[in-house]
Structure 1
């Protein structure tokens, strides 16, 4: 098995041989067509495509990540996380065979995310600690004469069909001198900061430029990444950096853009014991990923928007503090933002929600998601109880009291609303003058 200290070449060449070894050419064509459709359909939104590469970097325990475009042609995402090993190679060269399926510390689980790259590019080069390999639609595999003809052209003529093979799962070992010089120069200049880089020859550079500009304008999108704390957008003139800093005293996260505070959030993490009844149902839920069947605990993160109260001319605080989210800003997170805005919570909610592959819809029929929605209101009230005991937040905590969700014919909405009614009735969260917590009467 390869390690970070040994060459990837043997593993790459073995995988290439296995992934191009078809008994019949029709098998290669059918798999190639399936991968082409999958890659094109995964992410029509260009930001989602970039999210997947950022998530891969976060799962590789990167702290710093760099995004740049070279010569209006190559899009590069590079990071200082773990270099590729044999398991990682097998993961990106397969379908639903990723390294994250059983890893509880990683966000992904479908084994499909990297395939989104091939909907945007016909050639992707990967750099890992001084070595290169690529996925290349222009690379010609050796024709197998056991397929019935001496060459590809004869087969295509006899069968009236173009031969294509699944290049998206065929890694090609690449010598450094085969890499364009501007890419080598860029990576060599940052050799100490970069362990892994994805170099993507883009079909439409304008789409990615637009997506990168959107990311720069929405730095809050990176709040719940597990490891990444600095994201740098490199350009020829000005480098923009998004960084996230945490003040452990209050769970305060500050989001900086170019060293200036852009927003502040109070983050609360809850660890939940998963009931046996849910674990039993998960074992029978075909939509539940394998890793969920291995865990006994789950986590939910709540994030409240916080504006540091400015003092007035006499030095007294006049406004600010915890703020309820605007409805248009209430989006569900699954470590990176989804496109699910219909649930109007007063805080950002981050959990390992089960969504469709492009994060645009949540599975309402999932036992796991239903249980998470049952728990959300209880954790919000638990947090309110903690905040009202802190003089800094005492008068602001009640801004986080959630309202009923609509429409009520949604099973997730119903689960939340039922638990909300129970928590309002039974939870002691109203503080009196003696700092005692009372129920609503």
Structure 2
């Protein structure tokens, strides 16, 4: 397949064959993703994979427009992926997140004929599989633009608008927490403009801001650690096929006293402390909302998720990733100690034997406990640190 015209001819043959088999229902894609406006995350995933640093959603009562500044331009392989079945351009690329071909089809819950504009190819998709060339869009430059008219007969425009609007408003700081490239998400609807943006003070310390009409309405500080899944260590071997991806963990930070903004000229421990998260999120780049870890900090790994991405699939292929997260959690304790953040209060963030962890997450607790028993990582009453195996808990009078 060497041209868009040739690909379109192949798709016409495919649709003609489907027409002869009337029992095949093409509307199944409408039900692939049960979460409302799930395609927002699929588009963000695609932008991340192209190296985009900024994206923009523009919502009206008749359509949703999405633009990104990705370095990698839309190519014929991408068109093949989003107009075919299981034709993802990502399945042989360990640096990219998911299967763009499958994920993109979540847009069909809202639209019947999406249009894509890029520097090389511009086309509209008809009947889900047929790419039809359209004139390019002037002034687009190297941006890639998607237009999704709200014309799915199963969902009226009002409902489509309300769902996508709610999806954009619910974008949180955890949306950007574990992405490498994407730093700025903007959206616009009615007379309101919003944004989520990430600022990196250091490789491990980041701030995520949420804005409405240019005003900061929410700010969160995070301590984030990542490690390539190809790292060889005592807990697991490199994971074949995803060597260039990473596992990561993130701890929530809170300001000390009345301080409300971070001063990069002062030590982090003088300004912030690590606090337990009310519910530790598990992410496959984006939060898997229905997955429960039982931890009080956040995890990310290139897990194999369920189709909806709302939870992690129970498969042996994910086991090495839990082991990688366990090792990373143990190693992060040393950096946290060096930053001056390993205090008695921080111990409340770590998993203990009373925490009801699902079976596959227990390896993380085991690794953390073993590291603290063997290394000088437990704050002592007299100051300093010692290994847990050399310490005793006693009453205040004895201390």
TM over 0.5: yes
The structure with the largest helix share of the pair is 1
Residues 244-267 of structure 1: per-residue CA shift (max 9 Å, x gap): 111116522333423525211111
Match of 2:119 in 1: 129
Which residue among 192, 196, 210 is the counterpart of 2:144? 196
From 195, 213, 221, the counterpart of 1:241: 195
Aligned to 1:309: 256
Distance 1:404 1:351 in 2: 24
The aligned residue for residue 275 of structure 2 is 323
Distance 2:236 2:101 in 1: 25
**Residue deviations 1:349-385 (CA, integer Å, cap 9, x gap):** 0110111121123222x22322222343342232122
Q: 1:16: which partner in 2?
A: 8
CA contact (8 A) 2:176 2:197 kept: no
1:92 aligns to 2:77 (yes or no): no
Counterpart residue number, 2:265: none
1:120 equivalenced with 2:68 (yes/no): no
Local SS of the residue matching 1:33: coil
Tell me what 1:226 maps to.
180
Q: Render the CA deviation track for 1:119-169: whole Å, top value 9, x for unaligned.
A: 321111111127521112xxxxxxxxxxxxxxxxxxxxxxxxxxxxxx212
User: 1:31/1:434 Cα in 2 relative to 1: closer, same or farther (>3 Å)?
Assistant: farther
Q: Is the 8 A contact 2:283 2:299 kept in 1?
A: yes
Cα gap change, 1:339/1:370 in structure 2, threshold over 3 Å: closer, same or farther?
same
Deviation at 1:334, TM superposition (A): 0.5
**1:396/1:417 CA distance change after superposition, 3 Å:** closer
**C-alpha displacement of 1:435:** 3.9
Q: Does 1 or 2 have the higher relative contact order (CA < 8 Å, sep 6+)? A: 1
- Of 58, 70, 73, the match for 2:62: 73
Q: Aligned pair 1:348/2:318, yes or no?
A: no
Give the corresponding residue for 1:216: 169
Question: Does the 8 Å CA contact 1:334/1:353 hold for their aligned counterparts?
Answer: yes
Where do residues 53-72 of structure 1 align in structure 2 (5 Å cutoff)?
53-70=43-60, 72=61
User: Is residue 33 of structure 1 aligned with residue 24 of structure 2?
Assistant: yes
Distance apart, 1:411 and its partner CA: 4.4
Q: Closer, same or farther in 2 for the Cα pair 1:227/1:250, shift >3 Å?
A: closer
Alignment RMSD (CA, Å): 3.3
| CA distance in 2: counterparts of 1:96 and 1:32, whole angstroms | 20
CA distance in 1, matches of 2:348, 2:76: 50
Post-superposition offset of 1:416: 4.3
CA contact (8 A) 2:95 2:244 kept: no
Q: Deviations over 1:257-287 (max 9, x none)?
A: 235252111111123435899779xxxxxxx
What do the CA deviations read for 1:81-123 (whole angstroms, capped 9, x no partner)? 1321122222222222211112222111374101111232111
Distance 1:237 1:363, change over 3 A: closer
2:241 is aligned to: 294
Other-structure match for 1:4? none
Q: Of the candidates 344, 363, 368, which is equivalent to residue 313 of structure 2?
A: 363
Equivalent in the alignment of 1:253: 207
Alpha-carbon distance, 1:34 to partner: 4.8
Q: Is the 8 A contact 1:370 1:412 kept in 2?
A: yes
Shift of the 123–250 alpha-carbon distance from structure 1 to 2, 3 Å rule, reads closer
Q: How does 1:383-394 map to 2 (within 5 A)?
A: 383-391=332-340, 394=343
Q: 1:56 is paired with a residue of what secondary structure? A: helix
User: 1:240 Cα deviation (Å)?
Assistant: 1.5
Kept in 2, the 8 Å contact 1:405–1:413? The answer is no
Shift of 1:61: 1.1
1:251–1:53 distance in 2 versus 1, CA, 3 Å = same
TM-score (norm 1): 0.73
| Distance (whole Å) between structure 1 residues aligned to residue 276 and residue 66 of structure 2 | 35
**Unpaired stretches in structure 1, ≥5 consecutive residues:** 2-9, 137-166, 177-183, 281-291
Q: Which runs of 5 or more structure 2 residues have no equivalent in the other structure? A: 260-268, 392-399
